[in-house]
Structure 1
Amino acid sequence: MGVESEKVGVTQQLSPSFLAYLGDAVYELYVRTQYIFPPRRLAEYHNKVVSLVRAESQAAFLSNLYPYLTEFEKEIVRRGRNATAGGRRRVSPKIYQKSTSFETLIGYLYLHNPQRLNQLLKKLNLDLT
């Protein structure tokens, strides 16, 4: 077994919670890099990024992406939804589940198919104004 196949085997065993944790970081970095140009004040960056990485926005983005997902990607989303326990009380459990599902998908694709991740992230059409 080669190093690459071992890596795939190990990442297949990662919990949806871990994938969501990773996906949260990857998605926030993606959003932050979208706002580098044109240069703005730091407070403007922060407010825009926060508005797009909050659970409500992630849940809406998942709904927008869902028609484009493969059956396997939908299974990853389902696993992420089922992995949520408790959740934050600032949002409803349903929104928190969708948000976690979105992050789980992002984390999984980051590890397994970065090209597909980029395709889906481009479909979000983030408002860069």
Structure 2
Amino acid sequence: MTEKDWNLLNGLALAYVGDAAYEVYIRTYLLEKGYTKPNQLHRRATHFVSAKAQAVLMYAMMAKEGFLSEEELGMYKRGRNSKSHTIAKNADVTTYRISTGFEALLGYLHLSGQIERMEELIHWCIQEVEENDHER
């Protein structure tokens, strides 16, 4: 596919790639932080990669004026509005759709070669989760 073709992918295809990309960054981050036991890794990862966590992060990004470009918001909405025939295990439909939009945004950035921007968003997400977990 060419660069312009990434704009044509449906939201679920973008989310499929975004989910994988985000998961790799989070797993790498957790290993670098010293989490090595599988159960420990899984428990900690859910703070970042669950539908609920991703929806909270997406709301926070959208609340920051000018944080996301119009193009990025469009890719988020494409993923959010996609009709998935799967049902989330631990989230309501709205939360699941918002997290699908989050993953679609990351998938689009990854596929279109905007790796620096994707990493900027992921690092921001990590910082948000870590700050909010320490407040609990």
**Where does structure 1 lack aligned partners over 5 or more consecutive residues?**
1-5
Cα deviations by residue, 1:4-29 (Å, 9 ceiling, x for unpaired): xx621332222111000111111111
Distance 1:19 1:105 in 2: 7
Name the amino acid aligned to 1:74.
Answer: L
Larger radius of gyration: 1
Q: Quick check: 1:98 aligned with 2:93?
A: no
Name the amino acid aligned to 2:47.
Answer: S
Contact kept in structure 2, 1:65 and 1:123, CA below 8 Å: no
Distance 1:24 1:15 in 2: 14
Displacement, 1:39? 2.8
Contact kept in structure 2, 1:31 and 1:49, CA below 8 Å: yes
Name the amino acid aligned to 1:31.
Answer: I
Distance 2:35 2:26 in 1: 15
Q: What residue number does 2:9 align with?
A: 14
Q: What residue number does 2:73 align with?
A: 74
RMSD: 1.9
Name the amino acid aligned to 1:73.
Answer: E
Contact kept in structure 2, 1:87 and 1:96, CA below 8 Å: no
Displacement, 1:86? 4.5
Superposition misfits of 4+ residues, deviation over 3 angstroms? none
Question: TM-score with structure 2 length normalisation?
Answer: 0.81
Match of 1:29 among 24, 33, 42: 24
Contact kept in structure 1, 2:48 and 2:54, CA below 8 Å: yes
Question: TM-score with structure 1 length normalisation?
Answer: 0.85
Contact kept in structure 2, 1:81 and 1:97, CA below 8 Å: yes
Name the amino acid aligned to 2:95.
Answer: I
Identical-pair percentage:
29
More moved, 20-29 vs 40-49: 40-49
Against the structure 1 CA distance between its residues 12 and 38, is the aligned structure 2 distance closer, same or farther, given a 3 Å change threshold? closer
Displacement, 1:79? 0.8
Q: How many residues align?
A: 124
